[in-house]
């Protein structure tokens, strides 16, 4: 199919105040200043809304940005948005995130990830944008020994409800593409990290705990391996893929293609925090960590085969873990006041992916 030209066109981004959504909106408006980006977000309280407001403050500096507060499961809201703006491209990044949280809050996942995505598909059915790009997840692969993960691997055994909702998104998108001629691309993201990221992610939570003088907990003895992918690499891929509509429905992995252990993550994080001046040079993380068995619904390894991604857009993620964590540490140094912990009795899950 022919590439899309976005000059003077509207791009709709759901979850626009989220980590990937805000970074994607910013990158697109910087790269294509003549397009109009419309964002939707419900500003839920899964993590501090202050962080979402900080992202939104950056986005509002662009004159070609419109923000709408609302829930994508609201059919009437989506009808109004699609009928008013007629987006050429829809990038659906709105979802209830988190693997561990899905164990205790399943309703959120069914409502946001399944009903919400169904509403997006229905809107695309009726208004026929040129391309629907949506977020899936590496979690759909489940826990398997065969690596790297390829998009033609079977994904019929999810080990978390979050993974099950993402796998269902892929099935729904495939069906809608077949029945209603929607052009859809599902992106299986692999452990996205970086400045302004989600505070429940391991690198973020570890930073808060280390700087508070607390011990960090390494599940599965720190042996879990993750394909850590820096946020700039994610949005660069999205900004290229969105211009290339699928002939029907396709799936792509977006990952670094180089899994590293939680121990590797902690070692690099310690170096980054020292370099940014947040930790003294003689700090030894090994004296402040506790080894624990695996968490429920966790997988041992994620590892992306990105050959299809490279073939399509001639690009694959570039940023090394140590460099990405350094950028995060420098950002955290300047914004740590946003993340002061409040006393709580609830158990907080640490998300590696």
Positions annotated as catalytic residues are 162
Backbone angles phi, psi at 312, to 5 degrees: -80, -45
Report CA dihedral (43, 128, 83, 113) to the nearest 10 degrees. -20
Beta-carbon count within 10 A of 264 CB: 16
What's the CA gap between 350 and 220, in Å, rounded? Answer: 13
Task: Give a three-class secondary structure readout of the chain.
Answer: CCCCCCCCCEEEEECCCCHHHHHHHHHHHHHCCCCEEEEEECCCCCCCHHHHHHHHHHHCCCCCEEEEECCCCCHHHHHHHHHHHCCCEEEECCCCCCCCHHHHCHHHHHHHHHHHHHHHHHHHHHHCCCEEEEEEEHHHHCCCCCCCECCCCCCCCCCCHHHHHHHHHHHHHHHHHHHHCCCEEEEEECCEECCCCCCCEHHHHHHHHHHCCCCEEEEHHHCCEECCEEHHHHHHHHHHHCCCCCCCEEEEEECCCCCEEHHHHHHHHHHHHHHCCCCCCCCCHHHHEEEECCCCCCCCECCECCHHHHHHHCCCCCCCHHHHHHHHHHHHHHHHHHHCCCCCCCCCCCECC
Cis peptide before 148 (omega within 30 of 0): yes
What's the CA gap between 213 and 287, in Å, rounded? Answer: 11
End-to-end CA distance of the chain: 33
């Amino acid at each position: 199919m022919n590439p899309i030209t976005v000059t003077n066109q509207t791009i709709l981004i759901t979850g626009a105040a989220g980590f990937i959504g805000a970074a994607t909106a910013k990158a697109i408006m910087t790269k294509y200043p003549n397009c109009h980006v419309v964002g939707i977000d419900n500003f839920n309280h899964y993590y501090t809304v202050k962080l979402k407001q900080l992202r939104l403050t950056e986005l509002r500096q662009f004159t070609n940005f419109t923000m709408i507060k609302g829930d994508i499961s609201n059919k009437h809201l989506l009808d109004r948005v699609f009928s008013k703006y007629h987006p050429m491209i829809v990038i659906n990044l709105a979802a209830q995130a988190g693997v561990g949280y899905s164990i205790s809050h399943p309703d959120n996942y069914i409502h946001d990830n399944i009903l919400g995505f169904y509403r997006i598909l229905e809107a695309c059915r009726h208004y026929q944008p040129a391309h629907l790009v949506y977020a899936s997840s590496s979690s759909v692969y489940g826990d398997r020994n065969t690596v790297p993960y390829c998009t033609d691997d079977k994904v019929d055994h999810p080990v978390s409800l979050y993974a099950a909702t993402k796998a269902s998104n892929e099935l729904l998108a495939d069906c809608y593409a077949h029945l209603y001629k929607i052009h859809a691309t599902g992106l299986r993201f692999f452990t996205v990290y970086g400045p302004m990221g989600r505070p429940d992610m391991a690198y973020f939570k570890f930073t808060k705990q280390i700087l508070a003088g607390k011990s960090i907990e390494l599940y599965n003895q720190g042996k879990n391996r993750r394909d850590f992918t820096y946020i700039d690499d994610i949005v660069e891929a999205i900004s290229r893929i969105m211009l290339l509509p699928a002939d029907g429905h396709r799936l792509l992995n977006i990952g670094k293609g180089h899994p590293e252990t939680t121990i590797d993550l902690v070692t690099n994080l310690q170096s980054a925090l020292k370099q940014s001046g947040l930790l003294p040079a003689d700090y030894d993380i090994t004296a402040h960590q506790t080894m624990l068995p695996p968490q429920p619904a966790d997988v041992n390894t994620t590892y992306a085969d990105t050959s299809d991604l490279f073939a399509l857009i001639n690009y694959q993620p570039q940023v090394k873990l140590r460099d990405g964590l350094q950028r995060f540490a420098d950002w955290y140094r300047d914004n740590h006041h946003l993340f002061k912990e409040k006393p709580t009795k609830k158990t907080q899950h640490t998300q590696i992916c």
